[in-house]
Amino acid sequence: MLLIGGVDEAGRGPLAGPVVAAAVLLQEGQRVPGVRDSKKLSAHRREQLAIDIRESACEWSIGLATVAEIDSLNILGATMLAMYRAVDGLRRMPEHLRIDGNQKPALPVRCVAMVETLVGGDDLCPAIGAASILAKVTRDDLMRQMHLTYPDYGFNKHMGYPTALHREALRTYGPTPEHRLSFRPVREAAEYFGKNGPRGSEVSV
């Protein structure tokens, strides 16, 4: 039976935290019931499905790129790096590898699969849909852990995305080491704090 690999990522748009990719191997024709694009599922449902995927997939692997790598490479380059690491973490290589989107990452030399990009692949390919869920659940877990270190920022609520709550925290407290300085709202907050210090620190005269 052919092994079909699916690769997807989570976390390209946030202002903080890593970008996370997952690679999932399924047998040709295999489906995990309920799997679809992670963005269309509730957080609770994603977590349930992640358990099912880990148990029923032939194999799965997670790769990530750090904030420092995002700032150094840009978000596209860091996403491709995370995808490379996810595929490289597989013990077996698929015969057919499908990647969500329209760009192919560099792949390990030992990966000789037929590679296909698939726009909207998380809804079209079961393996990509499964990878989408694992990537999202893994990243959300990392952001909840980050919240324990930086409780004033609400990372457990917005997961680093540029919500009103997050932007207000940036304006009030400034960036953390987990923020992406290459992203404009973070860079502007860092520049403001570099010139003025924390909001409220000015002395009235």
> What are the tens digits of pLDDT across the range 61-102?
999 999 999 999 999 999 999 999 999 999 999 999 999 999
In a domain, 60, yes or no: yes
DSSP secondary structure code for residue 40 in this structure: G
pLDDT for 26: 97
pLDDT for 197: 59
Residue 201 pLDDT > 60? no
155 shares a domain with 112: no
109 shares a domain with 173: no
Q: List Cβ neighbours of 188 (8 Å cut-off, separation of 6 or more).
A: none
Looking at every residue in the chain, the average pLDDT score rounds to 92
Dihedral angle computed from the Cα positions of residues 119, 122, 123 and 124, in that order, rounded to the nearest 10 degrees: 60
**What is the span of the domain harbouring residue 120?**
3-147
For the chain, where are the alpha helices, taking DSSP H only? Answer: 43-56, 67-73, 75-88, 121-124, 126-149, 155-158, 164-173, 184-196
pLDDT for 192: 86
In a domain, 63, yes or no: yes
pLDDT for 195: 67
Task: State the Cα–Cα distance between residues 149 and 168, nearest whole angstrom.
Answer: 18
Length of the chain (residues): 205
162 shares a domain with 65: no
Do residues 79 and 100 lie in contact, with contact meaning Cβ atoms separated by under 8 Å?
Answer: no
Three-state DSSP state, 81: helix
Structure tokens at 172: 């009030």
In a domain, 202, yes or no: no
Do residues 7 and 15 lie in contact, with contact meaning Cβ atoms separated by under 8 Å?
Answer: no
pTM value is: 0.91
Residue 35 pLDDT > 60? yes
The per-residue pLDDT for range 106-118, each reduced to its tens digit, is 999 888 879 999 9
10 Å CB burial of residue 55 (0-12, 13-18, 19+) is exposed
The per-residue pLDDT for range 155-200, each reduced to its tens digit, is 999 999 999 999 999 999 999 999 999 999 999 999 988 766 555 4
57 shares a domain with 157: no
176 shares a domain with 112: no
pLDDT for 203: 33
In a domain, 100, yes or no: yes
Largest Cα separation within the chain, whole Å, is 77
